[in-house]
């Protein structure tokens, strides 16, 4: 089940949600941009933009297109080799049937990090609302 709140913007919370799901993909497994997006509640293109901009600190090489192809395969290969992911015969990526992450398990593994992020986000919103109320009283 996707996040009930659809996110269409690249705000800080959405960026963090994507990065935390990517961090939860186990070594030796991959997930497609769209699969990460469904867990977070965004589209695959936004997942790609977020990874391109902020993904250097997470295992970006574990995110592929729906065919298992990777746009940065040459850079991903050393990581894939160390994790046991093999390249399919066409040389563009891996067989998602063989190396795809269990999406329900990925959702469960990412849930604590996403819940903590939502709690922080809610606290920040409450503090901002209190601050706005204090400004109105002046």
Structure tokens of 84?
A: 């046991």
Tens digit of each residue's pLDDT (9 = 90 or more) over 69-105: 999 999 999 999 999 999 999 999 999 999 999 999 9
pLDDT at 137: 54
pLDDT tens-digit series, residues 8-56? 677 899 999 999 999 999 999 999 999 999 999 999 999 999 999 999 9
Res 132: pLDDT: 62
User: Cα separation of 80 and 59, whole Å?
Assistant: 10
Q: Would you state the structure tokens that stand for residue 9, as one six-digit string? A: 């913007």
Compute the distance between CA of residue 14 and CA of residue 95 in angstroms, rounded to an integer.
28
| Whether the model pTM is above 0.85 | no
Helix, strand or coil for residue 72?
Answer: coil
Question: What pLDDT, on the 0 to 100 scale, is given for residue 55?
Answer: 96
Span 94-117, average pLDDT = 96
Token output for 11: 């705000």
Do residues 92 and 70 touch, judged by C-beta distance below 8 A? yes
Give exposure, 122-131, as e/b (b: 16+ Cβ within 10 Å): eeeeeeeeee
The C-alpha atoms of residue 6 and residue 42 are separated, in whole angstroms, by 6
| Domains with residue ranges and CATH for the chain | 12-132 (1.10.10.10)
């Amino acid at each position: 089940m996707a996040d009930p709140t659809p996110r269409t913007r690249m705000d800080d919370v959405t960026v963090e949600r994507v990065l935390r799901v990517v961090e939860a993909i186990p070594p030796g497994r991959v997930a497609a941009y769209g699969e990460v997006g469904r867990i977070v509640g965004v589209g695959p293109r936004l997942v790609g933009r977020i990874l391109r901009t902020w993904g250097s600190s997470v295992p970006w090489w574990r995110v592929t297109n729906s065919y298992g192809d990777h746009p940065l395969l040459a850079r991903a290969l050393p990581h894939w080799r160390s994790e046991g992911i093999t390249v399919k015969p066409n040389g563009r990526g891996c067989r998602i049937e063989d190396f795809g992450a269990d999406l329900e398990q990925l959702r469960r593994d990412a849930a604590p990090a996403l819940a903590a992020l939502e709690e922080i986000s809610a606290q920040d919103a409450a503090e901002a609302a209190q601050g706005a109320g204090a400004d109105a009283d002046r």
